[in-house]
Amino acid sequence: MKSKKIILVVEDQKENIAMLHAILGDLYTLRIALDGEKALVQVNMLQPDLILLDVMLPGISGYDVCRVLKGQDSTRDIPIIFVTGLTAELNEEVGLRLGGADYIFKPYSPGLMKSRIQIQFELLEHRNTLERLIAERTAQLTDIKDALFESMSIMISYRDKVTGSHVQRTRKYMELLLDFLSEEHPDGALIDDQMKKYMSQATLMHDIGKVAMPDTLLIGEGRLSEDDYEYIKRHTLLGREILQKAKENLSDSHFLSYAQDMATYHHERWDGTGYPMQLKGEEIPFAARVMALIDVYDALTGERPYKPAMTHSEAMEIIMQGDPIISANHFDPAVLSVFVAHEGAFASLNAAMKQDERYA
């Protein structure tokens, strides 16, 4: 049997309480608060489905009670019907402006009382249904968006297997590093679950600009000439342009903002010697600073047509000590410190992915 809805009656006159019991007692479970202070306590304990709130109460008024309840996330959505003997239009306007759903004037009309309450429950049910449908539709659109961008990363792998495998591996490194950064980085409190999700997805797009590069540069077996290297640097700016177009057509652009930062700036260096903008230090967006480190780590430990894969230890030696290609001041020191503190976890993940054909 379906349980009765709970109505909190905030009323200090015994005869009015008795009348409300007579009108509503068979339909709903009634709870009573004799003043505003007790009402605030009971609302948080009971979480009633609706509140019948007298305007004139001892102590704080019904309007003040409404103001408090509408200011709290936990009670904001509970419908409040004011009950009062006051008939001035100004009082009715005040209550509705504060968030009251309706007014019922004394003396009570049983039929009107029941109808007004039933209308509020029907409206609440419609609102809940609408919110559920919106949530379901939002989830569907999110799934579609995720699938589209996953497909884009697969498209990269068909164009260039090396880059395709690279972006999949860096996503795994990104997820692992973000878990450590959220606990140990000075700004770790800002790295919440939503940010982790966005940055993980965005990692797949960090080399999206390479789809516009000639095949001879992407899949050639030799090292790039100086001119070719200068040309391929353009993939950062091309990536920014591609993702800017996507941002202009999507209302939720948080994920794309991270992706655009990564695509544009993941070759910038902490000391300002990177490209394409020669940004320095914290001028480089945080997402790109994290991406820069794992991008280099995977480039070193991954096999390329022009070089064999380095071991984890060899890659760490280069990252820590620097070489002619990788400056000792290449990386954000705070991000690098966390990475080094947990290098064993990255070595294990690197070894596991080398055994998994999906990341080979």
Contact between residue 63 and residue 97 where contact means Cβ atoms under 8 Å apart: no
Q: Identify the pLDDT of residue 153.
A: 62
3 state DSSP class of 216: helix
Q: Which residue has the higher pLDDT, 279 or 2?
A: 279
Q: What average pLDDT does this structure show over 18-46?
A: 93
> What is the chain's mean pLDDT, rounded?
85
Structure tokens at 212: 């516009």
Cα–Cα distance for residue pair 56/36, rounded to 1 Å:
10
Cα–Cα distance for residue pair 351/99, rounded to 1 Å:
59
Cα–Cα distance for residue pair 303/181, rounded to 1 Å:
27
Q: What average pLDDT does this structure show over 66-84?
A: 92
Contact between residue 186 and residue 334 where contact means Cβ atoms under 8 Å apart: yes
What are the residues facing 103 on neighbouring strands?
82
Stretch among 81-85, 139-143, 186-190, 282-286 having the lowest mean pLDDT: 139-143
Residue 323 has pLDDT above 60, yes or no: no
Cis peptide before 276 (omega within 30 of 0): yes
Q: What average pLDDT does this structure show over 251-274?
A: 89
Stretch among 11-15, 93-97, 152-156, 170-174 having the lowest mean pLDDT: 152-156
Torsion angles phi and psi, residue 268, rounded to 5: -75, 155
Q: Which residue has the higher pLDDT, 319 or 162?
A: 319
Cα–Cα distance for residue pair 108/119, rounded to 1 Å:
17
Cα–Cα distance for residue pair 264/243, rounded to 1 Å:
10
Cα–Cα distance for residue pair 116/101, rounded to 1 Å:
10
Residue 309 has pLDDT above 60, yes or no: yes
Q: Which domains does the chain have, with CATH numbers?
A: 6-131 (3.40.50.2300), 160-359 (1.10.3210.10)
pLDDT-based confidence at 324, cuts 50/70/90?
very low
Contact between residue 332 and residue 269 where contact means Cβ atoms under 8 Å apart: no
Residue 274 has pLDDT above 90, yes or no: yes
Q: What average pLDDT does this structure show over 32-53?
A: 93
Helices 333-341 and 286-301 cross at an angle (nearest 10°) of 50
pLDDT in tens, 128-152: 888 888 888 777 766 666 666 666 6
Please state whether beta strands 102-105 and 6-10 pair in parallel, antiparallel, or not at all (unpaired).
Answer: unpaired
Cα–Cα distance for residue pair 44/322, rounded to 1 Å:
59
Helix (H) or strand (E) holding 30: strand 29-33
Amino acid at 115: S
pLDDT-based confidence at 85, cuts 50/70/90?
confident
Residue 326 has pLDDT above 60, yes or no: no
Q: Identify the pLDDT of residue 105.
A: 86
Torsion angles phi and psi, residue 7, rounded to 5: -115, 125
Contact between residue 213 and residue 230 where contact means Cβ atoms under 8 Å apart: no
